[in-house]
Structure 1
């Protein structure tokens, strides 16, 4: 009976993660694309919006399919694997989940997420770079380019370019998110707030803080993954130095897009956490 309940709960956690991620990605895609242009070109919000407006509606919608598909599946994988890993750890060590178990389960789920969906992010970043529109007008044209490489280069230069950066960002981000999500929610619940508000605030504050902390890493990922070609360098120190020089060696310019990131992360993680916790309460 317990095993069947666990299987049903794992399926439910995957489903709610997928549904909430799909909805929030669709709502926040305009914000995400504006942030991406700021990360790539160090533009102000006004300049980024102006650039997107010049490209028209078709150009604005370019690149929406990969993140929509990836984020939907990512939500299912992230919550589903974390739940299973956490239960596996608790089987060996009965009792309430410790901070170490939550962090380690989050780290592993983040690694799996990066390995499974790194190629989606890679294609998405190439598609959303306005400089590649003529060379790569469609997703298929990008896949043809990657598949033309030798097998090893197909992974290193193509689908998994910047993998170490993505593993670091996703693993650390998931570890921090799952470590502090529930403690922050429980602390707010003790203050007599409406039942839905603690999870919403916990997800918003937690997700926003983590996203802002890892934002410079996201800038580096966007610049590394938007490059296409065997002639481009894969040495991360050189790529980081190039980004630093392009920002005029100013730390503030590394956070171009940070203000919009707060809005996007707050909406995305707040809604996702609230929906997920609501399902937990319903299922009891």
Structure 2
């Protein structure tokens, strides 16, 4: 995030330069925002794997109306996998988007400054955005769109690899 923040463009030449310069602030500077990441990724991963198969079977059954016009079993399964991942990606990304915004707030704080807790960063961000929850979710549309494509493709390809490995083992 340091290199993505244009306030730091003149300070760091590249990733290696930033990595080496951060050493003087201690190892904690490399992990700024880790709490927000863990609070977002832990439950999000649990939800993804907890609902992936159920969503696929209940909302996208093989003989359901959405897939009725597709005759190829492989195509049908690929579409089911993509839509399952895409749907979960959108829902989960939407639920945890505020934590993502807070993480960015934490990681773009001035290098070497006191690290904020998730709560303090969220409160500061809320105040910075005029006390409006709506402004805390600015940019969510593009994030959800990216998540739709990313998680759809990730689920599709991970299931293809899993199936190939399963066939290889048998």
Q: Same fold (TM over 0.5)?
A: yes
Matches within 5 A, 1:179-194: 179-187=50-58, 188-192=60-64, 193=67, 194=76
Please give the per-residue CA displacement for 1:84-140, whole angstroms capped at 9, x wherever unaligned. xxxxxxxxxxxxxxxxxxxxxxxxxxxxxxxxxxxxxxxxx1111111111123112
Tell me which residue corresponds to 1:146. 22
Tell me which residue corresponds to 1:94. none
- Distance in 2 between the 1:255 and 1:230 partners? 27
- Distance in 2 between the 1:176 and 1:276 partners? 17
Which secondary structure state, in structure 1, belongs to the residue aligned with residue 116 of structure 2?
Answer: coil
2:98 paired with 1:227: no
Q: What CA RMSD, in Å, does the superposition of the two structures yield over aligned residues?
A: 1.6
- Distance in 2 between the 1:237 and 1:184 partners? 33
- Distance in 2 between the 1:256 and 1:147 partners? 33
Q: Would you say the 8 A contact 1:155–1:161 is kept in 2?
A: no
Which secondary structure state, in structure 2, belongs to the residue aligned with residue 234 of structure 1?
Answer: coil
Deviation at 1:281, TM superposition (A): 3.3
Deviation at 1:191, TM superposition (A): 3.1
- Distance in 2 between the 1:231 and 1:197 partners? 47
Q: Would you say the 8 A contact 2:32–2:115 is kept in 1?
A: no
TM-score w.r.t. length of structure 2: 0.83
Which 4+ residue blocks in structure 1 deviate beyond 6 angstroms?
none
Q: Would you say the 8 A contact 1:233–1:239 is kept in 2?
A: no
2:10 paired with 1:134: yes
- Distance in 2 between the 1:200 and 1:190 partners? 14
Tell me which residue corresponds to 2:145. 263
Matches within 5 A, 1:1-284: 125-149=1-25, 154-156=26-28, 158-187=29-58, 188-192=60-64, 193=67, 194-282=76-164, 283-284=166-167
User: How many matched pairs?
Assistant: 155
Point out where structure 1 has 5 or more consecutive residues left out of the alignment.
1-124
- Distance in 1 between the 2:113 and 2:88 partners? 39
Please give the per-residue CA displacement for 1:128-165, whole angstroms capped at 9, x wherever unaligned. 1111111123112211222112xxxx232x11112211
Deviation at 1:233, TM superposition (A): 4.1
Deviation at 1:278, TM superposition (A): 2.2
* Higher radius of gyration, 1 or 2: 2
Which secondary structure state, in structure 2, belongs to the residue aligned with residue 214 of structure 1?
Answer: helix
- Distance in 1 between the 2:88 and 2:120 partners? 32
Q: Would you say the 8 A contact 1:162–1:221 is kept in 2?
A: yes
Q: Would you say the 8 A contact 2:3–2:15 is kept in 1?
A: yes
Q: Would you say the 8 A contact 1:166–1:221 is kept in 2?
A: yes
Please give the per-residue CA displacement for 1:45-72, whole angstroms capped at 9, x wherever unaligned. xxxxxxxxxxxxxxxxxxxxxxxxxxxx
Q: Would you say the 8 A contact 2:33–2:104 is kept in 1?
A: no
